[in-house]
Amino acid sequence: MRKEYEISNRQAVQGTLKSLALAASIAFALSACNGNGATKMTSEDAGGLTDAATSAFKAATLSDAEVKDLSDKSCAAMDGKAQVATAKSKEAKRLSKIIKGMPPSVKGVPINYKVYLTKDVNAWAMNNGCVRVYSGLMAMMNDDEVRGVIGHEIGHVALGHAKSSMQTAYAASAARQAASSFGNAAVAALSNSELGELAETLVNSQFSQVQESASDDFSFDLLTAGKFKREGLVTAFEKLAKLGDNNSMLSSHPSSSGRAQHIRERIAAKK
């Protein structure tokens, strides 16, 4: 599984770099035009493209510390526009009960939990240990199921998927910056969203089949080590399957129903 993940991660990075190369090629082609109706590059355009190229390169070489810093700022941006449950709320108290006995940190980074009060069904984690659970998900799941989902999200951090997602989100922002260098107001408005947009892109990012399966197995192993009920991971996927496998939380392959079956088979094999 580790080898498969490394191959998948390498392919994801290569895909990102190809996209950036394409964006740069288009930008260069546009800058070379100086005929009727064509766009002529100004010194400001050149400066913008230089900044975009720098950002694009930076995206592929973000250090762990830089990813953590971006995650800190992205998480703060999400918290700033969400309705966060207070420590005394029933949702926060319930979450505290659910996570009791789970690892307090991931990859040496303390985990920070909060509940977003919203009907949306979602949960996510960032590379800085920021874990957010939506009350909509908590309302439809029991404690064992919520714990299984949290374990899955932590898995994305522990296995390096969250770092790759940050690189991809950052790269996408750099590509938009390149496009906006030519004065397109609509594109420029999108790119200037900066941190808020980066945070949204990160939260809504999709993982590969190998990455999702690896995080499922991480959660299973985490629950096993903590002597928690692993069946909650199965029924969590079954409930998500009823929402449809196009649900924003788990919209990648394999399907939620297929993932439930995989965990069910692992439970059976342990008996």
Among all chains, which residue has been given the structure tokens 């493209």? 49
- The phi, psi pair for 263, rounded to 5°, reads -70, -35
Indicate the burial class of 147 (C-beta count within 10 angstroms; 0-12, 13-18, 19 or more): buried
153 catalytic, yes or no?
A: yes
Per-residue pLDDT of the chain (271 residues; tens, 9 = 90+): 434 434 444 444 455 455 444 444 434 343 444 445 454 545 554 455 455 555 555 566 678 888 888 899 889 999 999 999 999 999 999 999 999 999 999 989 999 999 999 999 999 999 999 999 999 999 999 999 999 999 999 999 999 999 988 888 877 776 556 554 544 443 333 333 677 888 888 888 888 888 999 999 999 999 999 999 999 999 998 898 888 655 556 555 567 778 888 899 999 997 5
Check whether the bond before 254 is cis (ω within 30° of 0): yes
The predicted pLDDT at position 243 comes to: 81
SS3 of 172-234: HHHHHHHHHCCCCHHHHHHHCCHHHHHHHHHHCCCCCHHHHHHHHHHHHHHHHHCCCCCHHHH
Among all chains, which residue has been given the structure tokens 């240990």? 129
Indicate the burial class of 271 (C-beta count within 10 angstroms; 0-12, 13-18, 19 or more): exposed
112, containing H or E segment: strand 112-116
Cα separation of the two ends of the chain: 22
CA distance 72 to 56: 20
Instruction: Give strand pairing partners of 115.
Output: 133
pTM score, two decimals?
0.74
Q: Which residue in the list 91, 145, 153, 212 is annotated as catalytic? A: 153
Q: Are strands 112-116 and 123-125 parallel, antiparallel or unpaired?
A: unpaired
Instruction: Please give the angle made by the CA atoms of 244, 249 and 253, to the nearest 5 degrees.
Output: 70
Q: Where are the alpha helices (DSSP H) in 33-160?
A: 43-60, 64-81, 90-99, 135-140, 143-158
Indicate the burial class of 52 (C-beta count within 10 angstroms; 0-12, 13-18, 19 or more): buried
Q: Where are the domains of the chain?
A: 2-65+162-203
